[in-house]
Chain A
Amino acid sequence: MAVVLLWLAPPPALAEGMAVNRAEVRFSDDGYQVTADFGIHLNFVVEQALTHGIPLYFTSEFSLTRPRWYWLDEEVAHREQSTKLSYNILTRQYRITRGALFQNFDSLEEALLVFGHQVFPPAALSQIKSGSNYVAAIRMSLDITQLPKPLQVNALATKDWDLDSGWYRWTVRPAASMAKE
């Protein structure tokens, strides 16, 4: 079993926005598992929309590529998952929904903390080669297209809705021996 980890130092505290705090990919003989912690700080506009009951959809993406000098990089794996953050006005509860699962929170901070911890379920990976370098990349962003239509126009016009961590990339090297970067 091989484990490749990446620890990222906490980024400079953001007033608002998103950033990758920590990301980790574990390789095993069967496949791999990805976990990442995102620091999420909603700005006033987004938070207002949320507290008025408008659900926010966040998309987190992971991709694993093998760089090739002679051709385009080969994408070994690409995964995407959508997480919904909503607020129940009646019960004053925040809720995180991922698929059929959901969780209620009384405070936004608590909810964001849990929300920021993204775990991609284990998946099988057949074409991995031990000993060669791979580039892992992760990103989380607010899915504007899932917003109500009129708000999309707002999102287009202002930067307030541009919540995007951007791609974070790091090199991993699945190997027989333990490697740490």
Chain B
Amino acid sequence: MKYLIFISAITGCILLYLLSSASANTDLFSRNYYGLLAVAGVLALSLTLLVGYQLWQLRNKLKAKIFGAKLTLRLALFFTLIAILPGLLVYAVSVQFLSKSIESWFDVRVEKALEGGLNLGRSTLENSLAELSKKGRFIALLLAEQGPARHASTLLRLVNEGATQEVALFTKDGRLLAFATSRQGMRVPDMPSATMLEEAVQKGVYSNIDSMPDNSLLLRVLVSFTPSRLVGGDMRILQFTEPVPKQISEDEETVQAVYRDYQELTLSRLGLKRLYAITLTLSLLIVLLSAVSAAFLISDRLSAPLEALAEGTRAVAQGDFSRQHPVQSSDELGALTGLFNQMTLQLSEAKTTSEQQQQQVESAKAYLESVLGHLSSGVLAMDGQFKLRSVNASAAQILGVSLSEMEGISLHELASRYTLLRSFASAVFEAFAESTGGEWQRQLERTSKNGNQMLLIRGTWLLTGGIEGYVVVFDDITHLLLAERQAAWGEVARRLAHEIKNPLTPIQLSAERLQHKLSEKLAAEDAQLLQRATQTIVSQVAAMKNMVMEFADYARAPSPKMSTLDMHGLLREVLGLYEANHIPIMLHLHATATTVKGDATRLRQVVHNLLQNAQDALQGIAEPEILLGSANKNAMLELWVQDNGNGFPENLLARAFEPYMTTKPKGTGLGLAIVKKIIEEHGGNIRIENMGTGGTRVSFTLPLLEVT
């Protein structure tokens, strides 16, 4: 675009120079003026088109609401006004001046003066001519009286005397009779034409001024006369010629030339005005259109950085800080662009920093959450209205409710939604209401899915950063209590066994001694009575001893003798004892790794106890069946014994492993308790559950020996 305007301006300048020089130079003008005018016209037209195109472009920009277009328009208008107004003013003055100055050339007085000069010259010439005719007529009269023979000598004499400069005598039909001249080298006179001769014959005299090729003037007078009757003969014609003096003819010529020029101007004044007006108008058009076009270009360039800045601002508003705009100028707009770039850079840096900080915060939060998540204690964080803010996995596990998606829900609502949580929630509310220092601790026994649960709850009221909140931390201490209870039982059993066992032996010995000493002394009838009584005492003492031994076994807990064992081998060894059994035992031994570290005797007792329990549970069942299985699970060996009996009573499931819990009519209630103790000594877990299809399944896990 700018090259186009540049080229137009250069072309315009050349054209204008040519036009102005053509107005002065006639030859160039006459050949090329119209071509020049046409080229200039075409240039003006194309410039108009260019300006039109620019206007159209600007209109499109305005329509599209491109930032900076309005400024471009305003600037362009200003520039255009600045260019056009003075241009038009100068144009108007020039046109006015032109027409006035051209008109001022034409003055009536000048014209009159020129005509007067011309008339003066004419009358001078006419006077000379009249004089010459007068002289001619006189000489003709003189010659008419002479005989023809003397004509030539008379003429020669007249010339020689200076009466006339040049004279020639012709017959009526133009034949030369005599010639005399004062000019050197002239042999033949300037011959008159037939019309001149004819007029001279008819009117007696003919006079005329001839202009010669060298612009000198020649006076010519023809006079006819008839020679005297004495002589007789035809009419003769006398021709006098006399050049006009050089000074006069030159002056005449000057006057004539000026008059001609003046007339030329008069005739063409309209044309002149048109010529100058056209040149002026075309020049103005080219100059103004170039100026307007340049104005558009400059305005566009001025507002271009604004557009770029606007685009940048839009990009920043949309969060794109990556744009940097080149600084194109050293003026304020350039400085503004520089500042904008700086601002964008700073914003970008600030954004990066805040992102980093956010990331840090998030990682800290994640760290805290993972710590919370790995805590065995349940943690509930709540706001001032007891709405959950965060919950860890243990809390959900302990409470038996999926809490992970319950954030923002208040504890009241949770309590109304889950009936099992009511006691917990009311305990928490109550405790917070009662506590004075904001911290409290209490135990709560509640019913959970897996039976009774003992919770140790600690509550804290927090005020951090002006935000009120509550934190509740709780532990499931059911197992802890159970262990304590078992320990207590063991102690009791040991002491009881010790205290009871001691008198038993003397009792037995005493009873046997009584029988031994008295049986012979008594009558047969009495002896038999004694025999029976003694038997009873001995057997009961033995039973009691046995019971006490069991107690002692449970309580004594001797340290196990650990060795490497193959559990499948151990199972088969135990099963050998049950081969004669009437209840079939199905084997599902799927475990691949079966080596554990354990006390073979005690583990054998575990298997025995469990198989015995299953057998007991299957008394009176139609198709009894026992399932013995094994599997590998999480680096542990899992073993289970399952029966298809009537199942364990639900209300006793939770306390199945406590001592002296029994469903059998003749049981000590220590079987499962001992099993549990042995398994826990081996670092394993035990579980009892009722199968949905009926029957009970007892499964336990043992840690596998690491393969070295």
Contacts and interface: CB of A to CB of B under 8 A. Distances in A.
A3 B34 CA distance: 43
A52 B268 CA distance: 12
A104 B266 CA distance: 26
B174 interface: no
Given A90-B122, A104-B211, A151 B259 contact: no
A149 B26 contact: yes
B213 A150 contact: no
A107 B631 CA distance: 149
A154 B34 CA distance: 13
Nearest to B34: A156
B274 A153 contact: yes
A48 B267 contact: yes
B125 A151 contact: no
Nearest to B217: A91
B275 interface: yes
Nearest to A150: B268
A146 B269 CA distance: 18
Interface residues of A, number: 26
B271 A90 contact: no
Contacts of A90: 118, 121-122, 125, 209, 211, 217, 252, 255-256
Nearest to B195: A106
A68 to B, nearest CB: 32
Given A93-B211, A100-B213, A53 B263 contact: yes
A51 B49 CA distance: 48
Given A89-B118, A104-B211, A151 B256 contact: no
Interface in B446-463: none
Contact of B263 (A54, A88, A154): A54
The range of chain B's interface size is 20 to 34
B623 interface: no
Contacts of A88: 211, 256
Interface string B318-338: 000000000000000000000
Interface string A90-113: 110101000010101000000000
Given A90-B256, A152-B30, A95 B267 contact: no
Contacts of A153: 268, 271-272, 274-275, 278
B173 interface: no
Given A148-B268, A149-B275, A156-B34, 16 more contacts: A54-B264, A88-B211, A90-B118, A90-B122, A90-B211, A90-B256, A91-B211, A104-B211, A146-B30, A149-B29, A150-B264, A151-B267, A153-B272, A153-B278, A154-B270, A155-B271
29 contacts: A49-B263, A52-B266, A53-B256, A53-B259, A53-B260, A53-B264, A54-B263, A89-B256, A89-B260, A90-B118, A90-B121, A90-B122, A90-B125, A90-B252, A91-B125, A91-B209, A91-B210, A104-B211, A149-B23, A149-B26, A150-B265, A151-B264, A151-B268, A152-B271, A153-B274, A153-B275, A154-B271, A157-B270, A157-B271
Interface of B: 23, 26, 29-31, 33-34, 118, 121-122, 125, 209-211, 213, 217, 252, 255-256, 259-260, 263-272, 274-275, 278
